[in-house]
Structures are given as C-alpha cells and as structure tokens.
C-alpha cells in the first residue's frame, strides 16, 4: 500500500496524517482521541490544549498498558491450560509403561508431534 494523507480533526484542529491505514479506521481513532480530550477538559476544567493532550496521552497509555497486562494474563492462562493437558498426556503414557515392558525401541522412542489418533507413524519412513 502507498501512504496517503488523511485529514483528521482533534480538539478543533485539523491534522494531515500520512498513513497506509484505512481512512475510516483512522477517522474513528481520531474521534476516540478527540472524545477522550473533551472528557479530560470537562473533568479538569483545563483550557491549555497541550496540557489536555498530555493528560489524554497518559490516560490512553494507561488503558493500553492495562489491556496488554490483561491480554498477557489471558495468554498465560491458555498456556497453563495447554501445559496441564500435556502433563495429563504424559501421566497417562507413564501409567501405560508397565503394559509396554518387553517392548524394545531400537530407534528414536519419540512419536512425531501432532499424532492425535494414537496410531504410530511407521519407523521405516513408510517404505
């Protein structure tokens, strides 16, 4: 995609933004920033646009930080669930070890990853 200029209005001022993003999406983001600045102006009574912009940046940065932390926690929860599942598989395999006594593994004893049916891949490469 080629960069192009998109006009947005924030706090009553027009800005030309060079972007590859969709114009409608960028206009939406600009409205979010404009709305957040208006909220801060109303709450604080500040009139200096720079000060309002700085407080807006801090608030939006906090929201991004909080979102990233919550997302990281979700990823950890998923990883924990996957780890628990792998532990259960390993424990089930260990429980079967007495059934496998006398089985001689003369090649790599590991099954290929992704085997879900319990069927083992041929050791000779399918020859």
Work out whether the CA dihedral 22, 28, 34, 36 comes out positive or negative. negative
- Cβ distance 8 to 17 under 8 Å? yes
What is the pLDDT, as a whole number, of residue 116? 47
Centroid of chain to Cα 20: 22
Q: What is the tens place of the pLDDT at every residue in 80-126?
A: 777 777 788 887 777 766 655 555 545 455 545 554 444 444 445 44
Does the structure show a pLDDT above 50 at 9?
A: yes
- Cβ distance 35 to 47 under 8 Å? no
pTM equals 0.55
């Amino acid at each position: 995609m080629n960069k192009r200029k998109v006009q947005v209005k924030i706090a009553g001022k027009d800005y030309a933004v060079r972007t590859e993003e969709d114009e409608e999406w960028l206009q939406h983001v600009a409205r979010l920033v404009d709305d957040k600045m208006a909220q801060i102006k109303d709450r604080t009574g500040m009139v200096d646009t720079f000060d309002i912009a700085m407080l807006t940046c801090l608030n939006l940065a906090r929201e991004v930080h909080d979102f990233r932390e919550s997302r990281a926690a979700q990823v950890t929860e998923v990883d924990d669930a996957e780890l628990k599942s792998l532990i259960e598989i390993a424990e089930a395999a260990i429980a079967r070890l007495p059934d496998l006594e006398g089985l001689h593994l003369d090649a790599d004893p590991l099954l290929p990853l992704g085997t879900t049916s319990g069927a083992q891949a041929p050791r000779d490469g399918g020859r």
